[in-house]
Amino acid sequence: MKSVLHIYKDYFPPVIGGIEKHIHQVAEGTRDEYDVRVLVANTRSKTEVEDVNGITVIKAASLGRIASSPICPTFPKLLKKYAADILHFHCPNPIGDISYLINRPSGKVVVTYHSDVVRQRSAMIIYGALLRRFLRLASVIMPTSPQYIDSSSYLSDCRDKCEPVPLGIETDRFQKTPAIEAQAEDIRKSVGGQPIILFVGRLRYYKGLHFLIQALPMVKESHLFIVGAGPEETPLRRQAKMFRVEDRVTFVGAVEDGKLPLYYYASDIFCLPSHLRSEAYGLVQLEAMTCVLPVVSCNLKTGVPFVNKDGETGIIVEPGSPSALSNALNQLLSDVDLRKKLGSQAQKRALAEFDVSVMIRRIKAVYERVISS
């Protein structure tokens, strides 16, 4: 049996994040044909090896973090020790890329390129050159959308190596049941049957929720549910009061994965107002689409408009524009038939193109081709 080693900063569980969940999905989905291990940074100053649901996870001793990147002096040594037939790197991850350049362990390099480093621009003065060098050594680079190849200078320089493999979700987790429908109806009743606009995600600077709240006074009668927690919650609450829409906004807080379908099925429209390239894909769009919701999201040069097709599964608007958001939301609120049409098409697209099984099949095909080359 051929072997695969995934290389990143963290693993799910315990870290709950999009990339961590993706690595978990790929590890679980490929272990029937490959011996899969994962190399990540520990939160403690010693190296530990754990079994996480049958997956061997090596956690390199960490001395802390700088700009979210772990400081792990033993990472290069461990990368060489646990080298596999396929070294599957998940970028951005400076400690992994630099460790490979230091040691050049055996194994073919496959990269899932999740996003550029967007915020820590000063770090890119050094890391940028190393990243370009590392990517040139890869056998295959898998951006999560075709758009990212054009918008990232790091990928456009390696265009011949790029093979987009879109991220996927476990769509069967979002199937409607009588129990879910009953609880969703309770949520609808809690706002007097008003149409519900839904946002799901971390309350972070790049999510654009301040533009959505600013748009709300211009939006027809409706109620906004914000599901998620994060550092922007307090300023967003203040903003809702400033625009006198606090009675039209419910801050739900963090919700466990098993209860998310309740909010999707209670809602009429899903809105992802993210306005910066830090939003590289928007997996929550897929969750909403699976639950037959039309999506309003922004025309970023990332995977966001790749997932949500303008006029087919929802409406794409210019980023950072409250008026554009309000116009799109009003168009959908005013036209029930359009909502149903786009929602139905959204579900079909999600099930056909973005189920996790489709993603795993594509990744296995890349592994097989790289090993045989």
Average pLDDT of the residues in 92-109: 94
**pLDDT score of 122:** 62
SS3 359: helix
How far apart CA 119 and CA 44 sit, in angstroms, is: 26
If we measure between CA atoms, which residue out of 55, 106, 102 comes closest to residue 74? 102
Long-range contacts of 282-285 (CB under 8 A, 24+ apart): 282/307, 282/308, 283/18, 283/167, 283/169, 284/200, 284/201
Query: Is residue 47 scored above 80 in pLDDT?
Result: yes
Q: Which residues touch 148 (CB under 8 Å, ≥6 apart)?
A: 113, 115, 155, 164, 280, 301, 302, 303
Question: Which whole number is the average pLDDT over 156-162?
Answer: 93
Please give the full DSSP string across 55-74, using - where no structure is assigned: EEEEEE----EETTEE--TT
C-alpha 41: how far from chain center: 20
Q: How many CA atoms lie within 13 A of 255 on its CB side?
A: 17
Residue 120 has pLDDT above 80, yes or no: no
174-217 tens-digit pLDDT: 999 999 999 999 999 999 999 999 999 999 999 999 999 999 99
Q: Which domains does the chain have, with CATH numbers?
A: 3-168+355-372 (3.40.50.2000), 171-353 (3.40.50.2000)
Q: To the nearest whole number, what is the mean pLDDT of the chain?
A: 94
**High-pLDDT (> 90) share of the chain, %:** 86
